[in-house]
Structure 1
Amino acid sequence: MNTLPKISFDNTANAFEYKSDKLLKKARFLFSCMKNNFLVKAGIALTPLAIKLRLPVKGLIRSTIFQQFVGGETLEQTKSVAETLGKYHVQVILDYGVEGGDDGEHGFDHATEEFLRVINYAATQKNIPFMSIKVTGLARFELLENINALMNKQRGDLLQCYEKALLQLSAEEKAEWQRVVERVQKISQAGYEKNVGVLVDAEDSWIQEPVDALTTKMMEKFNHKSVIIYNTLQMYRHDRLSFLEEALQMAVERKYVLGAKIVRGAYMEKERDRAEEMGYPSPIQPNKEATDRDYNAAVDLCIDNINNVALIVASHNEYSNLFVTEQLLLKGFELDHPHVHFSQLYGMSDNITFNLAKAGCSVSKYLPFGPIKDVVPYLMRRAEENSSLSGQTGRELSLIEKEIKRRAN
C-alpha cells in the first residue's frame, strides 16, 4: 500500500549537496544582489547595452549570473553540468537559449538546425530526455499574429479554426507558413526517431493559437507509442483550464497521448498592459489565488486521466509540487510514474528539485545554453523574475544561509 511521502523542501543538505562551499557562497552573493531593486534595474538596463557596445563585461557576467542560470556557451559545455546533476538523479531539459528571428528566414533555418543538433546530442546522453523549442524562433511574429487573429474570427474547435484561418492567408503567407510547418515537423520527426521529448514553449496570448494548433497536429502525428511532443499551458491565463479539458477530449477522440507541460506563466505584466492599451479584456487571472486554483486543478485533471496525458509539472511553487506527489499516491500511482515529470529552472529552487529526486520522482532542471551575448535576454528575465517574485529571492537566500551554517557546524 502506498503511503504519503515524507518530502521536506526545507532539507538543505539534499538541496545543495551538489554545490561546493565556494559555489554556495557565490550563489549567496548573487541572490543578495538580486534583493536590491536598484541594482537589478540598473543591470537590466545597462547589460544589453554594454554587450552591444562590446564593453569588457562578459567575464563578470560569465562568473556570476551566467554561471548560476546557464549550462554553458556551447552544447558541449552543458555536459559537465548534466553529469553533475545526473549523480543526484536529476535529469536535464536542454534549451538552446538564443531567441532568434532577427535574421529572417535564414535565422529561422539556422535555429532549426540548432534544435536538430540539440536533439542529436541529447540522444547520446542518458540524462537528457527532453529539449525545448520556441515557435517564435522558427516563424515571423507578425505571421503568427495574423493567423491568430484569423483563428479568432472562426467557429469550431481549435483545428477547425486553424484550417479555416489558413485558407484566408495570401499565397505568399501560405508559402511562408508552410515553411514554418516543415521546420516544426522536421524537429518533431527527429525527436520521434531519437526518442527525445520536444517541449514547445508558450508564447504571448495574441500569437498562441497557431502555436497550439501546430503543436496539437504534431502530437496527433507522433504521440502514440511514446510521448514526444508537449504543449505548454500558462495557468495564469483564465482560459487555460478549459483549453486543457478540450485538448484532453481531442486527444482521446483522435487516439493520441496529450503532452502537457503546466506552468504558471511568464508574461503577466506585458499581457495586462497590452489588453489595457488595446481595450480588450485581460486574458490574465484576476489574482494569484485563481492562478493557484487552476494550476492545481489542471495537474489533478491530468493525474485523473494519466493514461491519456503525459504531465510535466513545471513549477517553483512548493505546495503545487507536494500536491502532485500526494495526489499520485492517494490515487494509487507511484511517484516515478512514466507519465509524470517535475521540472524547475537551473539555478533556482534546488530545494524542490533535489528533494523530489531523493524521494524517487522523475525530475529535471531546465538548462539553457548559448553565447553570452545571445542569452542576455534570458538572464535579464531571471534577474527581473527573482527581484519581483514575492519572497522568491528571500526564500533562496534563507535556504542557502541555512546550508552554509549547517556545513559550518
Structure 2
Amino acid sequence: MRCRRGQGVSDGEEGAMVGSQGRSLPGDDIWSSVARSPTVLEARASEAEGERVGRLLGVKGGLREVVKQRLCCQLQGQQHRGPEGEAGGRNRGGCKGSKGNLEVRACALGGRWDWEDGENRTGQAPKEPPFHARAVGLGMRKDGFPKARVQEKRHRLPALLASTPSPPQWRSPGIQTAAGRETAPGCGATEAARPPVPIIDFGNAQEAYRSRRSWELVRSLLVLRLCASPALLAHQEQLLHLTRRLLGQRLFEKLMKMTFYGQFVAGEDQESIRPLIRHNRAFGVGSILDYGVEEDLSPKEAERKEMESCTSAVEREGSGTSKREKQYQAHQAFGDRRDSVISARTYFYANEAKCDSHMETFLHCIEAAGGASDDGFSAIKLTALGRPQFLLQFSDVLTKWRRLFHQMAAEQGKAGLAAMDMKLEAAVLQTGQLEPLLSQFTEEEELQMTRMLQRMDILAKKAAEMGVRLMVDAEQTYFQPAISRLTLEMQRKFNVGKPLIFNTYQCYLKDAYDNVTLDVELARREGWCFAAKLVRGAYMAQERTRAAQIGYEDPINPTYEATNAMYHRCLNYVLEELKHNTKAKVMVASHNEDTIHFTLRRMEELGLYPADRQVYFGQLLGMCDQISFPLGQAGFPVYKYVPYGPVMEVLPYLSRRALENSGVVQGAWRERQLLWQELKRRLRTGSLFHRPA
C-alpha cells in the first residue's frame, strides 16, 4: 500500500502497524525488504531480536506481527505497503500520543540501548551489546514520546531480551529452493537467510489442479481435444450454426456453458463472475477483467467500416494520400483487421456514440474489477475509443519524428537518447520540417480526436478512483506508435505515485527492445512509475502478409527463436531496472514454460522476491493452469485474463480461443497429458470427488 505524505501519522494508540487489509501470508520477509528500504527500517538483526525492538517501540506482538501482516511501512508518510498493494492504509500505533511522523531505526550495532526524542540526534557511541536503537521524532510534539515511558522501556530491556522467544517459522510443503532443500517462506533471520525464489515444478499435476473438481478436468480434456482437431476447427462456424438450429437457443447456450464457454469465459455479467474470481483468488490467482463481447460483422462490412474510418475527408478527395508512408495508409485488402488474428479482440469504428458505448463498457469492467478483488486489473483497447484515422496519422508523424531525431543526434555525435524528449508540443510540430507530415484534420475530425483523448482520461481517472490497474492492449504496427505514445502520456499523468497504467510491448517486433529501453529511461528521468506488460504478439501472420503485399519492411522478427530471444532480452532489461527501482512493475504475459523459468531464475539472481510484487505473471483463463496455479500457490502474483459476457455475444472470442489452442500444439499436448495424469491419480486413489479447499 502507498499513502501520501502526511497520512502515515499515529492515531494516539498503541497497536500493530497494519494496512487496511493486512493478513498473514507465507513467503514474506520484512528484513530483506527493509534492507532495500533504509528510510523505512534499517535492520541487521535476527527476527527474535527485531521482535524485541518492536515491543520496545510499543508495537503489540513485536515486529513478528508486522512480518505476519506482510507489511513494510515508511513512517515518514511517503509509503505504506500492504499485501494487496492498494492505497488507503495508515499507520496505527507506534508511539502513543505522537502527532507527527516517526522514523524508527533498529540497527544491530553491537552497542547499548539508547533512546532520544524530539529531534534528530545520533546519541552516544554504543558500548554494550547487542543493540543500539533510536527513535527520532520528525515534527513531533515535545510530549509526543514521554520521557518516563522511554526510561521505563530502557530499564525493562534486559528482561525482554531474556524472555522473548524466537517465533516459529512457517514451512511450505513441497516447495524447494534452488539449493534443493525445503525452505520456510516465512520470516527469515537475516537478509542472507531470506528464502530464495522457489523453483516451481510445472509438471506436478496434483498441485497444478488442486483447485479444480474432477468434472472440470474432464471438461478441459474434452475442449482441448476438440481444439486439436483441424477438421473440426475448419468448419466451426457451420457446426455452431447447425447446432444452434437443431437444439434451439436455450439448449445451445446450456451446451456452450458446459463446454467452450465454461472453459474460457467467466460468466455473463459482473455478478456471475464473482464466484470464479473469489475461487481463483483463494488459490493465489488474481484476475484481469475484459468484457469479451464483439460485433459480429461480415468481412465486407468490416472492410467498408475500416476504409471509411481510416481515411480522412482530405484523402477521400484525392489530395492527401501521398503524404503518409505506405505502412500508415489504409488498404482495402486489409480492411478486415480480424483476418489471420486468433488471439485479440477487434473493434471497428461506427460513430462517436458507439465509442461512448465502448467507454461505458470499459467503465463497468473497471467497476467490476474493483468490486470483485482488491488488486484487480482491467484491459482496454484504444481503437474502441475513437476514429482509427487519428491513430494512423499520428503513428506516421511519430515514426518520421523519431527518424528525424535520430538523424539529428547522429549528426551532432550524440547518443540516441535525444529522441526521448519527444513530447506532444505544438510548437515542435509546426517546424518547417515536420509540418507537412500531418494531414490536415477537418473541424469534425479534430473534435473526434479530442473526444478520444477525453475518453482515455475518464477511464484512467475511474481506474485511479477504484484502485484498479489499467492495461492498454497492443494492436497492429500501423496503430501502435500512436497507442504507445498516448499510453505514455497517461503514465506521465497517472503513474506518479504508483503504477496505474500499464503499456504493452510486443516482443515479436524488431524494435521492441529499443521501445522498452527508451520508455524505461524516460520514466527514470521524469520520476514516474514504469509499468509494462510483455507479450510476444498476436498479429504476426497479418503483419507479414501486409508488409509483403504493400511493400515496406517486415516489422516482425524473422524466426520464433528470434522472438524468444527478444522477449528474454526485453524482460532481462526490465528485471534489472526493477532491482534498482522499486516503483517499476512488469507483467510477464506468457504461456511459455521456458520464459517462466527464465524469469524465476533471473529474479533469484537479482534478489527480486514474490513478496515485493514487482513481477507479475499472466495467462488466459482456461489455458495453462499448470503454470498459473503453482505460481500463485507459491506466493507469486499471477493473474488470469478473464473475459465475460453473454453467450451469443462472445462466440467470436470462443472461436479464437479454439484456434489459439490448435496453434499452440506442444503446450496444449502437455496440458492434456497433465490433465490425464491427475484424473488417473484421482481414480486410483479414490479421490474422484475431490473438493478444492
| TM-score bucket of the superposed structures, by smaller chain | over 0.9
Instruction: Measure the CA separation in 2 of the matches of 1:20 and 1:198.
Output: 32
Q: How does 1:187-202 map to 2 (within 5 A)?
A: 187-202=459-474
Instruction: Indicate which of 633, 643, 648 corresponds to 1:358.
Output: 633
Deviation at 1:47, TM superposition (A): 4.1
Deviation at 1:48, TM superposition (A): 7.6
For structure 1, the residue ranges without an aligned partner over 5 or more in a row are: none
Instruction: Measure the CA separation in 2 of the matches of 1:122 and 1:3.
Output: 32
Is structure 2 residue 646 aligned with structure 1 residue 371? Answer: yes
- Could you tell me which amino acid in structure 2 is paired with residue 259 of structure 1? A
| Alpha carbons of structure 1 residues 322 and 123: separation in structure 2 relative to 1, 3 Å | same
| Alpha carbons of structure 1 residues 45 and 330: separation in structure 2 relative to 1, 3 Å | farther
For residues 241-283 of structure 1, give each alpha carbon's deviation from its aligned partner in whole angstroms, at most 9, with x where no partner exists.
Answer: 1110111111112211111000111111111111111111111
CA contact (8 A) 1:241 1:298 kept: yes
| Alpha carbons of structure 1 residues 59 and 12: separation in structure 2 relative to 1, 3 Å | same
Is structure 2 residue 349 aligned with structure 1 residue 77? Answer: no
> Which range is displaced more, 305-314 or 84-93?
305-314
Instruction: Indicate which of 660, 666, 673 corresponds to 1:398.
Output: 673
Instruction: Measure the CA separation in 1 of the matches of 2:384 and 2:240.
Output: 23
For residues 33-68 of structure 1, give each alpha carbon's deviation from its aligned partner in whole angstroms, at most 9, with x where no partner exists.
Answer: 11111101211565489889x973433333211111
Aligned to 1:137: 384
Instruction: Measure the CA separation in 2 of the matches of 1:59 and 1:159.
Output: 55
Is structure 2 residue 217 aligned with structure 1 residue 24? Answer: yes
CA contact (8 A) 2:196 2:609 kept: no
Q: 3-state SS of the aligned residue for 2:618?
A: strand
Q: How does 1:150-165 map to 2 (within 5 A)?
A: 150-154=397-401, 155-156=404-405, 157=419, 160=422, 164=429
- Could you tell me which amino acid in structure 2 is paired with residue 283 of structure 1? P
CA contact (8 A) 2:395 2:481 kept: yes
Is structure 2 residue 315 aligned with structure 1 residue 40? Answer: no
Instruction: Measure the CA separation in 2 of the matches of 1:119 and 1:166.
Output: 34
Q: How does 1:155-304 map to 2 (within 5 A)?
A: 155-156=404-405, 157=419, 160=422, 164=429, 168-304=440-576
Aligned to 1:326: 601
Deviation at 1:83, TM superposition (A): 1.0
CA contact (8 A) 1:93 1:129 kept: yes
Deviation at 1:173, TM superposition (A): 2.1
For residues 9-55 of structure 1, give each alpha carbon's deviation from its aligned partner in whole angstroms, at most 9, with x where no partner exists.
Answer: 01111211121111111111111111111101211565489889x97
Q: Which has the higher helix share?
A: 1
Instruction: Indicate which of 623, 641, 647 corresponds to 1:348.
Output: 623
Aligned residue pairs, count: 409
Instruction: Measure the CA separation in 2 of the matches of 1:282 and 1:49.
Output: 40
Instruction: Measure the CA separation in 1 of the matches of 2:375 and 2:647.
Output: 22
Instruction: Measure the CA separation in 1 of the matches of 2:654 and 2:284.
Output: 26
Instruction: Measure the CA separation in 2 of the matches of 1:199 and 1:51.
Output: 35
Say which structure, 1 or 2, has more relative contact order (CA 8 Å, 6+ apart): 1
Instruction: Indicate which of 199, 206, 209 corresponds to 1:13.
Output: 206
| Alpha carbons of structure 1 residues 51 and 273: separation in structure 2 relative to 1, 3 Å | farther
Deviation at 1:166, TM superposition (A): 6.6
Q: 3-state SS of the aligned residue for 2:499?
A: coil
Instruction: Measure the CA separation in 2 of the matches of 1:336 and 1:293.
Output: 28
CA contact (8 A) 2:589 2:618 kept: yes
Is structure 2 residue 282 aligned with structure 1 residue 87? Answer: yes
| Alpha carbons of structure 1 residues 361 and 43: separation in structure 2 relative to 1, 3 Å | same
> Which range is displaced more, 189-198 or 369-378?
369-378
Q: 3-state SS of the aligned residue for 2:612?
A: coil
| Alpha carbons of structure 1 residues 38 and 297: separation in structure 2 relative to 1, 3 Å | same
| TM-score (ref. length: structure 2) | 0.56
Instruction: Measure the CA separation in 1 of the matches of 2:617 and 2:357.
Output: 30
- Could you tell me which amino acid in structure 1 is paired with residue 373 of structure 2? K
CA contact (8 A) 2:219 2:258 kept: no
Deviation at 1:338, TM superposition (A): 2.3
Q: Percent identity?
A: 32
CA contact (8 A) 1:94 1:128 kept: no
| Alpha carbons of structure 1 residues 213 and 167: separation in structure 2 relative to 1, 3 Å | farther
Q: CA RMSD in A?
A: 2.3
For structure 2, the residue ranges without an aligned partner over 5 or more in a row are: 1-191, 295-346, 406-418, 430-436, 685-693
Instruction: Measure the CA separation in 2 of the matches of 1:190 and 1:354.
Output: 30
